Structures are given as C-alpha cells and as structure tokens.
Amino acid sequence: MTERHQQPDIASDRIVMLGVNGGPVLAPDEAKPALALVVNDAVYLVDCGLDTSRQLLTAGLGFAGIRGIFITHHHLDHTSGLPGLLLHGWTARPPLPAVDIWGPPGAKQKATQLLAGFEDEIALFQAGGGFGDFTAPAGHDVEVPLEGGIVPVMEDDNVRVEATRVFHGPEVADAYAYRFSVKGTGKVVVFSGDTAAHDANLAAIARGCDVLVHETQDNSAIERIAAGLPHPRGEELKKHLFEAHSSVLDLPAVAQGAHAKKLVFSHYTPVAHPPAVWLAMATPAAEAIGYKGEIIAPKALDVIPL
Ligand SMILES: [Zn+2]
Ligand SMILES: [Zn+2]
C-alpha cells in the first residue's frame, strides 16, 4: 500500500481498484472496499472503505477530481472512510471539491451527520492554516422500488449512473448495484456491490455490460474461520457469509448470464488470497460453462483500462 503505482495510460478511462478486501475486520496491508471509475480525469468513487484517502493518494488520483461518491449499502466496510475523506480531502492540496454522496436511504442523513463531533477540528483549521471554508457534502437517498427495477441516480457530462437493488442478506434492507454508462465511449461498467449470486436484478442491470466488477468469496474457507470463533458468533458469521455473498465458483456463470464481456473480482472474503489463487478457482468454473470473457483477479491499486 505504500509504493506509488504506475498507471499504464494516465489519460485513458479506467477503473482503479483502490481497495478490494471485503468485510469489517481489518488486516495489515489490505485496503477496504473502494473503487474509482475515472472518466476524462473525473473520479467517481464507488464505496469508501477506511483506506480510501490514502489509496487515492497512492494511486496518484488525489481528491480534486472527485465528482461523486456512490455507496452500495450501509455496511461499515463500505463507509468508514467517509469522515476521513471529507476531512483530509478538505486539507489536501488541491482539495476535495464540494461533493455529493448517493446511496440507499440513510445516505442523506449520513452526509449531514458524518462530521458531527468534529466541529472544533473544522473550526480550528478554518480559523488558520490556509485551508479555507469547509463545505459539507450533499447527501441523496436513492430510492429503488422493493420489486426492483433500474432507477436513474445521477448524470453529468461524462457518465449516466443508474442503480438497482440486489439481495445482500435479510438484515440489509437496501443494497444496490450501480451501472455507469460512459457518454464519450459508450462503455458500460457495472459494480455489483455486496450480493449473493445469482441475483436477477443484477443480471438485468449488467446485461451486455463491458465490465462487471463483482464481489468474490471463497466459500471453502468459511467453515474453518467460523470454527475458530466462540459460539454463537461462528454460526452467525457462517450464516451471513453463505446467504449474503457470492462464491467465486458462481461468478463466471453470473457473467455469462449477463453477457458481460469482462469479469473483474473485488471485495474478497473471507480471506485475502493472492490473485492467482482466485483465478485458479474461477478458471475451471468458467471453462465448464464456456464463459469466454476475460476474468481479472486484481489486487489493490490495480488499474483496469476501459
Ligand atoms: Zn462488504
Ligand atoms: Zn456488505
């Protein structure tokens, strides 16, 4: 996480995998979920895990280009980097511009309350240090009907963003996948968010996409990890992981079903295997069903050109 990564073509549209380690338990040298879609140098953030600010700097993206933040759901591995992003984005040179946060219901309230308790810190550097006035983010609740469907989220010069709801366990009322359609090139990128394969709404929003970025789980590691936890936490964890996430073995079929041209893994749980291990699990599954699209198992800070 410390070296500065070389980007293959700084000018091209791309996805930067800022953090690909899923779940709320921190591990050394593993960055939590955050993905950056870069279009014409504008940065669209999908989720904002703890390490987002540091990863933006290490990736060479910085804060000034951020046009919006899209939260897939309110699990803390996807949101705990928000306060730090706003505070350190404000003091960055050049700084984070006034930013909008979209997400499931609760996003609007979250945006206004994120820095409750930091009034003194903000006031101190507004009074001195040359950082200017702090601008609070604007939050937007994205409403997707319970029966599903694809709803518009946001549109600007570069992209059109839409969302649908995906199943992510019964306790998560609202979990979203996002589709970004790039206006200049016609490329379509879909981010699954956290979800359990196979999800019919995800298949619909991902239909024919150029890149499907999908969460990824090694189900074979779950029993071992759950066995190491005291009762009943092990059983609770096992239930959540099996019913709310997607086995890597199912992902080629998800991509095949959606006619996705490329499948990119993200949000690895419950273990952080090296990329080659994830690929070794997925490749036979892809061959068995004849999925011909490219499959990429990135590590943090890897760049996927569009
Ligand atoms: Zn997650
Ligand atoms: Zn989650």
Please report which helix (H) or strand (E) contains residue 91, including its range.
helix 82-91
Mean pLDDT on 148-165: 98
| 8 A C-beta contact, residue 79 and residue 71 | yes
Q: How far is the centre of ligand 2, averaged over its atoms, from the C-alpha of 5 (Å)?
A: 28
pLDDT tens per residue across span 199-219: 999 999 999 999 999 999 999
pLDDT tens per residue across span 62-91: 999 999 999 999 999 999 999 999 999 999
| Nearest ligand by distance to the CA of 22 | 1
Model confidence at 220: pLDDT above 50: yes
Report residue 129 as tokens: 């240090």
Mean pLDDT on 133-158: 97
Mean pLDDT on 132-138: 95
pLDDT of residue 11: 60
| Nearest ligand by distance to the CA of 269 | 1
pLDDT tens per residue across span 8-21: 444 699 999 999 99
pLDDT of residue 5: 53
| Nearest ligand by distance to the CA of 47 | 1
Mean pLDDT on 131-140: 96
**Mean pLDDT, rounded, of the chain:** 95
Q: How far is the centre of ligand 2, averaged over its atoms, from the C-alpha of 114 (Å)?
A: 19
Mean pLDDT on 103-118: 96
What domains sit in the chain, N to C, each tagged with a CATH number?
14-305 (3.60.15.10)
- Residues with Cβ within 5 Å of ion ligand 1? 22, 75, 77, 194
Model confidence at 236: pLDDT above 50: yes
Q: How far is the centre of ligand 2, averaged over its atoms, from the C-alpha of 75 (Å)?
A: 5
Q: How far is the centre of ligand 2, averaged over its atoms, from the C-alpha of 169 (Å)?
A: 9
Q: Position 264: which residue type?
A: V
User: In terms of Cα–Cα distance, which of 43, 53, 49 is closest to 16?
Assistant: 43
Model confidence at 115: pLDDT above 60: yes
pLDDT of residue 9: 47
Q: How far is the centre of ligand 1, averaged over its atoms, from the C-alpha of 78 (Å)?
A: 6
Model confidence at 4: pLDDT above 60: no
Model confidence at 1: pLDDT above 90: no
pLDDT of residue 262: 98
d(CA 139, CA 71): 11
What is the pLDDT confidence band of residue 2, given thresholds at 50, 70 and 90?
very low
Q: How far is the centre of ligand 2, averaged over its atoms, from the C-alpha of 193 (Å)?
A: 8
| Nearest ligand by distance to the CA of 80 | 1
Model confidence at 54: pLDDT above 90: yes
d(CA 249, CA 296): 14
User: Where is pLDDT greater, at 8 or 44?
Assistant: 44
The angle at the Cα of 101, spanning 205 to 302, to the nearest 5 degrees, equals: 65
Q: How far is the centre of ligand 2, averaged over its atoms, from the C-alpha of 245 (Å)?
A: 8
| Nearest ligand by distance to the CA of 267 | 1
User: In terms of Cα–Cα distance, which of 238, 184, 194, 191 is closest to 216?
Assistant: 194
- Residues with Cβ within 5 Å of ion ligand 2? 75, 194
| Cα-to-chain-centroid distance, residue 276 | 21
Report residue 299 as tokens: 């590590």
Mean pLDDT on 242-271: 98
